C-alpha cells in the first residue's frame, strides 16, 4: 500500500484487486484518471484508445 508523500516508480504495485470478481458482481470497472495540476508539467498526453491493457501506455506526463 502507498501512503501520502510516498515516491514510486514505473512498475511499482500501487493497489491489488481481482477485476474479474468486480465485473462478476456487476460493477463498472471504468477508472477515471484526473491530473489536477497539469499546469506544472511541460506536456500531458494520453492514448485515444477506449481501453488499455497491462503494459500499454495510458498517459505520459513530462
Per-residue pLDDT of the chain (62 residues; tens, 9 = 90+): 678 899 888 888 888 899 999 999 999 998 888 888 988 989 888 888 888 888 888 888 88
> What local confidence, expressed as pLDDT, does residue 24 receive?
98
Q: What's the CA gap between 14 and 60, in Å, rounded? A: 18
pTM: 0.51
> What local confidence, expressed as pLDDT, does residue 26 receive?
98
Q: What's the CA gap between 46 and 10, in Å, rounded? A: 16
> What local confidence, expressed as pLDDT, does residue 21 receive?
97
Amino acid at each position: 500500500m502507498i501512503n501520502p508523500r510516498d515516491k514510486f516508480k514505473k512498475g511499482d504495485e500501487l493497489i491489488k484487486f481481482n477485476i474479474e470478481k468486480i465485473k462478476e458482481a456487476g460493477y463498472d470497472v471504468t477508472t477515471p484518471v484526473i491530473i489536477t495540476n497539469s499546469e506544472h508539467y511541460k506536456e500531458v498526453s494520453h492514448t485515444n484508445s477506449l481501453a488499455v491493457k497491462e503494459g500499454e501506455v495510458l498517459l505520459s506526463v513530462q
